[in-house]
Structure 1
């Protein structure tokens, strides 16, 4: 069996890191990417120590050009290792909290640049090659805030709601060529990025039937399923991994 290669953006910590470790344990060659090279190399070393194959490519995904450059570098890594870039996980994201009034334009642009523009141009530069080979899997990481209105998260939620729509559009566009595109929408998850929420994280989790805060590995398991061949008949889905929050 040919080894698949996966590019996971924002995989130096949190959900992205857990996904890199999970896919590597499943036998996938992983391209770890993020802004912090030290943390990225630590993830790579952890994967290699466990017997997996991983590489680090730094990227500051704030605009189209950075996405184009990452796509080219990740493709080169995959080809140098004797494979192709078969999986893309658009996980890198930034958020800004607070009321609408007073939100700086620079903050608005930064969120939309990383959360929406970068995934758009990564797909634009990677999906056509997947389609030409007749196979590929893309997973976009969304958020509960894209479906449930949470005060202070308007810009972040809007960026992810738009990404969910792109998921469906790309599923329709690339599906006939064998490329599957899905979203995973996490609920409250214990990550370095959510530490600042403090007790509110547990309060938010308590509103769901299951009632607990997820670990990054819980989200990674769902992502791993969607990129696997076991999900070969699944595309265009927004998979809620939120403890049942959106059913109540």
Structure 2
């Protein structure tokens, strides 16, 4: 992790630090009219959208930063993160409290909030990853997506070779699906498998994130990733880059 802009920013002093603490807030909406910006229905509903949009993202903040806490060693930073979690939880609750009032005024926000929740889960939600480096890498990226530009999380990646030179064709048996797919020299296992099982999870396609990790039941693996531990390499592979050493491999798919 590095901050490429750190040298250009003034260093904060202790007196400028404001401890983050969740404020318990509650608002009464009973007497708020439908168009609460007088004479400006468009402006009113533009700002109302924030009540529909923000809670899902704030819940995501809470979820991700709870997972980050065990990795934080700096006590002051840990206290700030705990304060931030409490702050975002309170924000989410405060926005959610507006929704029943909108329903009473004849505006049902459910279709919109359902789409926002779905989108947030697909874009920002947890990846189904085993414990270890793969999950830790995803967690760092999840946090990095919410850092401001001047405090960007810098992750260096060294791309594995994707050249077809020296590759051989082989077959992949998908045990649970009772299917067999052929993998050409210029095709990845992931691409061949997704032609049969299009819902197969994947993300980076470079052997870094671990999303496509699959258990190997039979066959020798030629590992080409930089992620899996030696133990994980014994019975699993990242099908976006790794291949079979022989002419057949069996996956638990």
TM-score normalised by structure 2 residue count: 0.31
Higher helix share: 1
